[in-house]
Structure 1
Amino acid sequence: MKRKLLASAIALTMLTSAAMAQTEPEYESWVGGFVQHYSPDQHKPNPFPFNYLDDGHTFGAEAGFRFDPKWAVRFELSRIFLDMTGDFRPGNGDDGTMVGADVMYFLDDDLAYLFGGARNQSIMESYRMASYGIGKHWEVSDNIRVITEVARYYDFGQSHNETSAKLGVAYVFGSTSAPAEQPDSDNDGVYDAIDRCPTTPAGIEVDATGCNIDLDGDGVLNSQDQCPLTPANAKVKENGCAVKDSDADGVFDDVDSCPNTPAGTTVNAKGCAANLDIDNDGLLDSVDKCLGTPATDKVDAEGCSILVEKEVSIGLNVLFPNNSSVVSNPDAANIVKFADFMKRYGNTTAVIEGHTSSVGSADYNQFLSEKRAQSVRKLLIEAYGIDSSRLEAVGFGESQLKDTTNTAEAHRINRRIEVKVSAMVKETATK
């Protein structure tokens, strides 16, 4: 049903748009309201057997800004009302909210627009989704447009695929305008704003700067001269800019690692005395590729600090009350320390393992362990800013008990989350 709805709506938008195409966009911004037919994923919400959401509708508002005839940005806020089906209807959670933002690309003559962006949907749980689709703004009057749109949504967390079809009304304001014609006083083909020679005589062939001469007499034509007003007799580089040789050793200051070499000293290509070792690393400056190495560092044959790899790791354990997936102390020192480690070593990933005690049924304990792992994952993402792509949540139920004795203490330590992360870092070897 979702595929037929999407295909039909796209076809209708593209075919009818051709007949109503505009030659130029007539607005920069808009605000509007809309309704949508919304089709959620048939496996939502997880886990099975609680897959009870069915097609429904939304009411919402949007605001957009068209900063270019082809490009615009848009923000949406909507309220979702979904039907419920199945034997495991919880009696609530059939409605929620969705906020999102899109970048929009308008086809020639406003035939249609393509868009892509992101959505955050809250229906019992929070879902982060990518959005993309096609739409059309239909002109009704100077300031009124009818919005038609079809969209698809993909939830990276649980691989949900969902569909919507929109119908709305927008009020548009502002107008796009053609850029003002650029003046060219001497008619040489170079606008005055970038013309370095705005009074070139007629018929003279000019370069990209509007000139065909070497204004400052430094031997570099203006088309390549980045400093066209260099003082006469100044020593210049290939780009026409003056350079200095403060110690007169034949090496320009911008590449001279030793700009105060005494007069008459023989220097290398870096401007340093050929028989000196200024960083005391055992290599003469003439062959040292890393001048200024700290005295405590071990160096290689080129005079550069030697780096060695070292493994660093951290673990995280979180205990839960009986029959609960709520993190009771989200600001605990061990959680903060773990989040700081993940931020410092940005290439690491973590598998968050959820566990339960052996009390209750195995199916329910499997469900509860997954909820616990998801709770810790959500906390690290939302409260500590860890990228969701770096965190995976897995539940093991009662299959990996730390203590197999049937005691209250055993049950307490079995209701847990376990995570371990390792990273290889490079450190400077010292003497």
Structure 2
Amino acid sequence: MSFLRNKCILLTSLIAASSVAQAQPEEGFTIAPSIGYYNMDNHRSVDNSTAFSLGLGYQFGNPWAIELVYVNADSETTSGSDIDVDQYRLDGLYHLEGSDLLTPYLAAGVGTTDFSSGPNNALINVGGGLKYALNDSLALRADVRLINDTEDHEFDNLTTVGLHYAFGVKDKVQDTDNDGVIDTNDQCLSTPNGVSVDAKGCALDDDKDGVANHIDQCLNTPSGVSVDAKGCALDDDKDGVANHIDQCLNTPSGVSVDAKGCALDDDKDGVANHADQCLNTRPNTAVDAKGCSLDTDNDGVVNSLDMCANSAAGSKVDAKGCYVVLEEAKTISLDVQFANNSVLIDPKYYAQIEEVADFLTEYPEADAVIEGHTDDRGTESYNQALSEKRAQAITDVLINSFSISQDRISAIGYGEEKPLVSNNSAENRRINRRVTAVISN
């Protein structure tokens, strides 16, 4: 018994709180024939039985409806006597928000139950149900009620299924999305609530870019410009300049651009700042791919300043790009030691010879004389020939291994004529076996 009472209290509370979700059925009269099962309270000593009901009602133009219901449930007492049960109710129905097909509702009402074996008893009922639309006028209906016999203090429950037919429905103008344009004229039936619409019921799009004003974050897009989902002109390279203005559509990410969307080139050399390694190139100066002034002969003086444009690689030049003149002769002593009576050069001495080659490269207008010397052992004529061969051996290395032009090198032998020290010991004789490079313009 307490369980049924709690159900009554719960359903009554639901009716009171149901204003949070409302349906708006069409206004008109209704008829609802049903069949179901009447479950008698155990204390009545009356068997449960099949029940038939018929409801006549009126649906208001809001969630509320009223219904006059007749229920017949003939049964037997537990002692085997027939008993007729006739019930009359006046119910109120409150429809909740559902879908196009399903509409739930809550219900409550008052009435009387007439038992053929006793007096009429007043009742209160609460419950609810569900309507499934078959078309605009006809629906299937399921209904559950808890019935409180206020005189015998018994709780019954009634479950029915049947049909619900609406007729005499008043014609009503429909505006599903509540935008002020009736559905028959509305070409955009799902406009969000509160959005301004045109005469066709579609959200306003003042700049005609296909994105409605209430979504458009760029309301003044020029006509014909492609836009993104926010209504802003497309900017494929993300440089802040829209495609329809951008004259450089593939600017790398993060590069500063001008009003035309092109990478900045402060020194106007044709190489953008982000690629330019020489940002202060003079105007009208030819530059390479790095934005640096061209230096065709790679002498460190750019073409625009170079008055000697074909300087040899590695040569020393002045500020005008011309060769530096060797002011005085330079002597380079080569500590190249030869074995006795030998002209062969050990490769370990090549590093010294390379110093002569580098100096000649730095001063392309200078020439070198390679001087050969011997000790005093042997005849004077033999030593003379040996010194010449040793000088020539150095010359050959400069020409063949270090690519010095043979026109710039000459070899001379002095034999034993110019010793550095006295030839009175093995060490001194080793010192006198030498080669010297004398370089001058």
Q: TM-score range by the shorter chain?
A: 0.3 to 0.5
TM-score scaled by structure 2? 0.32
Higher RCO (CA < 8 A, seq sep 6+): 1
Which has more radius of gyration?
2
